[in-house]
Amino acid sequence: MNVDPAEYWSQIDKDGEIERWSRNARRKMAIWRLTIYAARALKRGLDLVGSLGALCAFSPFFIITSLLIKLEDRGPIFFCQNRVGAAGRLFPMWKFRSMVINADQIKDQLLEANQHGEAGVTFKMKDDPRITKVGKWIRKLSIDELPQFYNVLRGEMSLVGPRPPLPREVATYKASHLRRLRVKPGITCLWQIGGRSEIDFEGQVRLDLEYIRSSSAFFDCSILLKTLPAVLFGKGAY
């Protein structure tokens, strides 16, 4: 049956179908936007409360660790390094210094011993000679990461999210790897509780993307709760 398009749309418009469809579409879009904003606000609220609470609760560790680092080699207590955050923005990430002062210069001599392969995106070495005596213990217990709660407080990081990469690592990323930069980096993540340094880079990316797809406040709380035993047992930490 041949129907004139102008007459067809005129009839539908007269019955109010287009207007009803338009109202439904606008309502669904408003609900979707509200849900997204609420989820972001909830995550930021969790980050603020968690980071402030952690900075207060772990303040004795800050004092003790600072003294031990200073006593060992008289070098700087903190180590600040540019990392890549959400949408590729650079930010200064803070850690307790766990390596010798000239660690970056020595690294080029150790590439052959990289646990993730000499040409790997990330560098991990089980018995890294650059790590100090104090550094060995604070890395095993993840105490070296505590200053990053300050980054969370500033809004540069989140409690949970993909670990922040170095600019030189991002320069070697494939297009699929860049998807992990869609969200704020975090202090802990799925692969931090599931093997840490023992998981290769491709495995880390796979878990990061799984987290991004399933991200929610409940999921974040679940990961945070699983982080504590992972830290205490120190599996995959070096």
Alpha-carbon distance values, 5 to 2, 9, 11, 13 (Å): 9, 6, 10, 12
DSSP at 131: B
Instruction: Report which of 60, 65, 57 is spatially closest to residue 97, judged by C-alpha positions.
Output: 65
Q: How confident is the model at residue 80 (pLDDT cuts 50, 70, 90)?
A: very high
Q: Which two tokens stand for residue 50?
A: 């968690």
Integer Cα distance of 219 and 158 in angstroms = 13
Per-residue pLDDT band at 103 (split at 50, 70, 90): confident
Q: Would you state the pLDDT for residue 140?
A: 87
Q: Which of 13-27, 30-44, 86-100 has the highest mean pLDDT?
A: 86-100
pLDDT at 236: 55
- Per-residue pLDDT for 145 more than 80? yes
Q: Which two tokens stand for residue 115?
A: 């646990």
Both tokens of 97, joined, read: 């210094």
Is residue 216 pLDDT above 60, yes or no? yes
Burial class (CB in 10 A: 0-12, 13-18, 19+), 158: buried
Q: Letter for the amino acid at 102? A: N
Give the whole-angstrom CA distance, residue 117 versus residue 140. 22
| DSSP structural state of residue 166 | P
User: Residue 228's pLDDT is what?
Assistant: 85
- The mean pLDDT of the chain is 86
DSSP-derived pairing of the beta strands 90-96 and 78-84: antiparallel
Contact 96, 79 (CB under 8 A): yes
pLDDT of residue 15: 63
For the segment 117-138, what is each residue's pLDDT rounded down to a tens digit?
A: 555 577 777 778 889 999 999 9
Query: Would you kindly state where each structural domain of the chain is located, as residue ranges?
Result: 42-233
In this prediction, residue 7 has a pLDDT band, given cuts at 50, 70 and 90, of low
